[in-house]
Amino acid sequence: MERITWDQFFMAQSHLLAMRSTCTRLAVGATIVREKRIIAGGYNGSISGDEHCTENGCYVVDSHCVRTVHAETNALLQCAKYGTPANGADLYVTHFPCLPCTKTIIQAGIKNVYYAKDYKNNPYAMELFQKANVQVAHIPFDEAKIDFLQDEKYALTFELFKKLRELGASQEELIPLEEKMHELFGKLVQS
């Protein structure tokens, strides 16, 4: 398995945090980093002690779930709760921040925002980031980079293609499947 970049490492942390989300509409995770060290993390979910959307559904008002605290805000609140300054830090988030989170990120002093997926990217949010001199970068997340069984899956796929050829599968049948495997593994499946 090849070594992942720092950006992929911190984005992977954010995706792991998103797996803790209790929001049924969109799972989001955020990681705050200073000097290549994680200082806080958050996911979107209910406040401590309240019902979760996964238990009782979303509480939607004006097309927004008001039950949840967003991942970016939860990460910044973790900094505040434990006395860890966020000023000058970087934020890695699974989805482009909403407008209220954008304002919170700027006010907390975050200097760089890295996001994996576009999500209702608000033009005013981008304008605010630019005015505040917050650098924003799209960092696509390559889930295959953190697949701990990738080599084993590749070997199994290789063997399956070999068996299919031995059983008489035609190139016409196998080429679309091999292309899909190439997309998944990032390398050619040839036997």
Instruction: Read off the tokens for 114.
Output: 């890295």
- Catalytic residue, candidates 2, 35, 55, 72: 72
2 catalytic? Reply is: no
Confirm if 100 and 62 have CB atoms less than 8 A apart: no
**Tally of CB atoms within 10 A around 56:** 11
HEC readout, the chain: CCCCCHHHHHHHHHHHHHCCCCCCCCCCEEEEEECCEEEEEEECEECCCCCCHHHHCCCEECCEECCEECHHHHHHHHHHHHCCCCCCCEEEEEECCCHHHHHHHHHHCCCEEEEEECCCCCHHHHHHHHHCCCEEEECCCCHHHHCCCHHHHHHHHHHHHHHHHHCCCCHHHHHHHHHHHHHHHCCCCCC
Which are the catalytic amino acids?
72
